[in-house]
Structure 1
Amino acid sequence: MARFELKLPKMGESVAEATITNWLKQVGDKIEMDEAVLEIATDKVDSEVPSEVSGILVEQLFNKDDLVQVGQTIAIIETEGGDVVVAKQEVTPVAVAEVTKTVDPETSGAKDSVSAPANFSDSDKFFSPLVKNIAKEEGVSVAELESIKGSGKDGRITKEDILNYIKNRGNQPAVAPIAIGTAPVVATQNVAPVAQKAAPVSVNGGDEIVEMDRMRKLISGYMVASVQTSAHVQSFIEVDVTNIVKWRNKVKDAFEKREGEKLTFTPIMMEAVAKALKDFPGMNISVDGDYIIKKKNINLGMAAALPNGNLIVPVIKNADQLNLVGMAKAVNDLGNRAKAGKLKPDDTQGGTYTVTNVGTFGSVFGTPIINQPQVGILALGAIRKVPAVIETPEGDFIGIRQKMFLSHSYDHRVVDGALGGSFVKRVADYLEAFDVNRDF
């Protein structure tokens, strides 16, 4: 009999580790080739790890909730033969079971960051790449990290540990500032903590209590973290998309017949956003401490709703280089795979700006939360028939037009109203100037 080493597969360039959330097979169970052995979770997606061989599971080298590094052996499967077989580390999960986030928590890596990182080599403790990235972004020193009590295996600091530390770091009594030339005076009252505890919720006899699933807990954390990180402001603009509606109605059947794809309004909107980002590169940036990272590529995140009510943000890479057909294919592909739970970790990485379609649910406009570490997100409102003033050389008159609102949320730390407003106005200009005689 041979012993096959099942390793944690590579799951994307920026994913270095994963947490085991569930063992689908137990010691002694028979496993078929390509059958899922366990479920894992990253900050990007939840995945199943399949077996590359048929055999019997004889060892589980990690427990549920353990953190595992990419390439580590996680299980031993006994197969026919006589030698130990080592799995290839490049194997990727065949299926994504669930999507875990709406906001991409990717932090700027070494190739994007220009700030000096903390020297974690000064510590004798092990810190995972994710924990180090969070510490760097939040300004947590090595000394602070060493003081955190870890809840992971062998006292290792987990993501939850450092996020809880950061959340509660502002709850300490503050000291009043010292004026120059005066004696220091210690404040007699505590400054109100940044994060207030939620008021207690009363529960009646007929109320149902349902614990958040892991996905919803992550989403909750990311949303709160984004609001606490960025100074959100919004600009709104109404757009006349009558020409776009008429053009799409005219060509959608021919488009589907020729391309085998449905033509929705989303790729048309994405095309305009990509053009506007080229015109205003100041919206295509990230913030790393006191530094601004100007992104070379325009990678559009596309918020997609899932059947279970959660959201995911797959990314259209180099969106400015796609024509309308390419954009439509990318939108449909990512949207369909998101709904089917078949996105790969790389599909949700690298976004530089995000678009969300709140009009799908009938909303006229919205105030979306920024997808960190980006600095802007655009919400597309519902397209409605409305009475409008139409200007002509012969005079003004009232007519029925197809209109929608664009809602632009942006990070006021680095994006002022002039840039934020000008950008969304440029998107509107592109949409209103849509060529009704264009080919697809």
Structure 2
Amino acid sequence: MPVEIRVPPLGESVVEATVGRWSKQQGDAVKKDDVLVELETDKITVEVAAPADGTLGAIRKNEGDTVGVNELLAEMEAGAAAPAAAEEGHVASVRYEEKAGAAAPAESAPAATATATAEAGSADAPTSPAARAIAAEHGIDLASVRGSGPNGRVTKEDVLKRIEDGRTAAGAPQRESAPAQPAAPTAKPATPAQPAAATPAPSVNGDRPEERQRMSRRRQTIARRLLDAQHSTASLTTFNEIDLQQVMELRKRRQDEFVKKHGVKLGFMSFFTRAVIGALKTFPRLNAEIQGDEIVLKHYYDIGIAVGAEEGLVVPVIRNADRRSFAELEKEIGELGKKAREGKLTLDELQGGTFTITNGGTFGSMLSTPILNPPQVGILGMHNIVERPVVVNGEITIRPIMFVALTYDHRIVDGSEAVRFLVTVKQLLEDPINMLIEG
């Protein structure tokens, strides 16, 4: 009896996904826990794995299709050694991984059967399921791939880089496009079909190559939310500059002791987070949201910290940030940033938030106007630190200056309130001892 592969639960409030790349094709032999297909949600990519050994049968959903929870994706025939639990209606096991970024091109459709070389190599080093699947498609020995993940773990990106390096070395840097549609339930072609518009094709004059890439579900969501933010809020941005001399001297003076005691460095984000919380307590409308014709003032402080990931910006949230010490903030900010880069953030870590901080300075930005993250009504933009000449006590001196920007929803936050909020952040950072005294 065929085993049904269905869309698993996708997380709280997530009801649909987009079918991504099929790692296996109809008729392929699969082992238990082999990744069959990727499902793209707004936030993360869900890997659907085989529940048993067997053969993949009819594929019911093609790449790009929108599917709902429990919708039929494919069927497979369980092998003789398949576990008894593999029966009709069984939902395939699931892994959650961050989708690889646009810098890693989508691969072409897999060959008729997966090679055994990659499976043999995977026994010698820790690998992700996606890495094993892609390596199997391209006949790559995983033992020859250097892992960049924790404990030398070979990631999907490592395998994709190995493939790209191999193409470049062979003098064929041309990038392949998204996989072809799954084959019909007839005999499989010996060579995977390549869509006519798949590879960059030269125009009439032969010197203007183009390439089309399907926009990922997360990128579509980012685009939609940014437009919604512009259309549904009365956004305005105010600016100021902060002299970080005292913060830098405090960090330098206490860094060794802090690291020795807490096992983590004292960075800038904990200072900015505490300064923002202090200002939010003074100006609570910036920690609110609009619901219909009511203003909901929130007396808790869940601070979102924007992190640049491969596929796009994500904003993991630190819950009850006002109750965290500097060390606790630094540890959680570091852990969330690492999980974002490795694609291990959960949906719960990405939901909610009452105010957001984004740091464009890590990329060298001098000044920008951040966009609101609705339903939040405030976002603080940090920028790079530059030594600038300033006047202090009537004398010109060089100080480390950062420009900061506060974007706010003018529907409930007045301009004077926003300016004073930013001035409060400035004052707390220019005299950071106050934050330490207040705990």
Task: Classify the TM-score, shorter chain.
Answer: 0.5 to 0.7
What residue in structure 1 maps to residue 215 of structure 2? 214
> Residues 39, 373 of structure 1: CA spacing in aligned structure 2 closer, same or farther, 3 A cutoff?
same
Q: Does the CA contact (< 8 Å) of 1:48 and 1:97 recur in 2?
A: no
Q: Does the CA contact (< 8 Å) of 1:96 and 1:344 recur in 2?
A: no
> Residues 81, 228 of structure 1: CA spacing in aligned structure 2 closer, same or farther, 3 A cutoff?
closer
Residue 262 (structure 1) shift: 3.6
> Residues 210, 293 of structure 1: CA spacing in aligned structure 2 closer, same or farther, 3 A cutoff?
farther
> Residues 307, 256 of structure 1: CA spacing in aligned structure 2 closer, same or farther, 3 A cutoff?
farther
Q: Does the CA contact (< 8 Å) of 2:317 and 2:352 recur in 1?
A: yes
What residue in structure 1 maps to residue 356 of structure 2? 354
What residue in structure 2 maps to residue 62 of structure 1? 61
Residue 255 (structure 1) shift: 3.3
> Residues 311, 32 of structure 1: CA spacing in aligned structure 2 closer, same or farther, 3 A cutoff?
same
> Residues 205, 353 of structure 1: CA spacing in aligned structure 2 closer, same or farther, 3 A cutoff?
farther
Pairing 1:388–2:390 present: yes
> Given the alignment, which residue of 388, 393, 407 partners 2:405?
407
Q: Residue by residue, what CA displacement relative to the aligned partner does 1:216-242 show, whole Å, maximum 9, x if unpaired?
A: 444333322321221221111111221
Structure 1 portions without partners, runs of 5+ = 101-202
Mapped partners of 2:90, 2:423: distance in 1: 53
What letter is aligned with 1:420?
A: A
> Residues 253, 419 of structure 1: CA spacing in aligned structure 2 closer, same or farther, 3 A cutoff?
same
Q: Does the CA contact (< 8 Å) of 1:355 and 1:380 recur in 2?
A: yes
Pairing of 1:104-253 with structure 2 (within 5 A): 206-211=207-212, 213-215=214-216, 216-253=219-256
Structure 2 portions without partners, runs of 5+ = 103-203
Q: Residue by residue, what CA displacement relative to the aligned partner does 1:305-350 show, whole Å, maximum 9, x if unpaired?
A: 2346x32222222222211111111111111121222222222211
> Residues 207, 59 of structure 1: CA spacing in aligned structure 2 closer, same or farther, 3 A cutoff?
closer
What residue in structure 1 maps to residue 330 of structure 2? 328
Mapped partners of 1:267, 1:296: distance in 2: 20
Q: Pairwise CA RMSD of aligned residues?
A: 3.1
Question: Could you tell me the percent identity over the aligned residues?
Answer: 35
Pairing 1:36–2:48 present: no
Mapped partners of 2:38, 2:350: distance in 1: 19
What letter is aligned with 2:341?
A: K
Q: Residue by residue, what CA displacement relative to the aligned partner does 1:165-223 show, whole Å, maximum 9, x if unpaired?
A: xxxxxxxxxxxxxxxxxxxxxxxxxxxxxxxxxxxxxx997555444541444433332
> Residues 76, 259 of structure 1: CA spacing in aligned structure 2 closer, same or farther, 3 A cutoff?
farther
Mapped partners of 2:47, 2:378: distance in 1: 33
> Residues 61, 212 of structure 1: CA spacing in aligned structure 2 closer, same or farther, 3 A cutoff?
closer
What letter is aligned with 1:227?
A: Q
Pairing 1:306–2:304 present: no
Return the structure number with greater relative CO, CA threshold 8 A, min gap 6. 1
Residue 367 (structure 1) shift: 0.7
Q: Residue by residue, what CA displacement relative to the aligned partner does 1:69-94 show, whole Å, maximum 9, x if unpaired?
A: 334453444252556265469x6533
Residue 245 (structure 1) shift: 0.7
Mapped partners of 2:100, 2:220: distance in 1: 14
How does the TM-score come out when normalised to structure 2?
0.67
Q: Does the CA contact (< 8 Å) of 1:271 and 1:327 recur in 2?
A: no
Aligned to 1:27, the other structure's residue is in SS state: coil
Residue 15 (structure 1) shift: 1.2
Aligned to 2:12, the other structure's residue is in SS state: coil
Residue 3 (structure 1) shift: 5.0
Aligned to 1:65, the other structure's residue is in SS state: coil
Mapped partners of 1:270, 1:385: distance in 2: 23
How does the TM-score come out when normalised to structure 1?
0.66
Mapped partners of 2:213, 2:425: distance in 1: 38
> Residues 322, 85 of structure 1: CA spacing in aligned structure 2 closer, same or farther, 3 A cutoff?
farther
What residue in structure 2 maps to residue 339 of structure 1? 341
> Residues 17, 206 of structure 1: CA spacing in aligned structure 2 closer, same or farther, 3 A cutoff?
same
Residue 409 (structure 1) shift: 0.7
Q: Does the CA contact (< 8 Å) of 1:9 and 1:93 recur in 2?
A: no
What residue in structure 2 maps to residue 419 of structure 1? 417
Aligned to 1:97, the other structure's residue is in SS state: coil
Pairing 1:315–2:291 present: no
What residue in structure 2 maps to residue 270 of structure 1? 273
Mapped partners of 1:320, 1:225: distance in 2: 30
> Residues 436, 231 of structure 1: CA spacing in aligned structure 2 closer, same or farther, 3 A cutoff?
closer
What letter is aligned with 1:252?
A: Q
What residue in structure 1 maps to residue 296 of structure 2? 293
What residue in structure 2 maps to residue 176 of structure 1? none
What residue in structure 2 maps to residue 14 of structure 1? 13
Mapped partners of 1:45, 1:82: distance in 2: 31
Q: Residue by residue, what CA displacement relative to the aligned partner does 1:376-431 show, whole Å, maximum 9, x if unpaired?
A: 1110122222222323xxxx433332221210011112221122222222222221
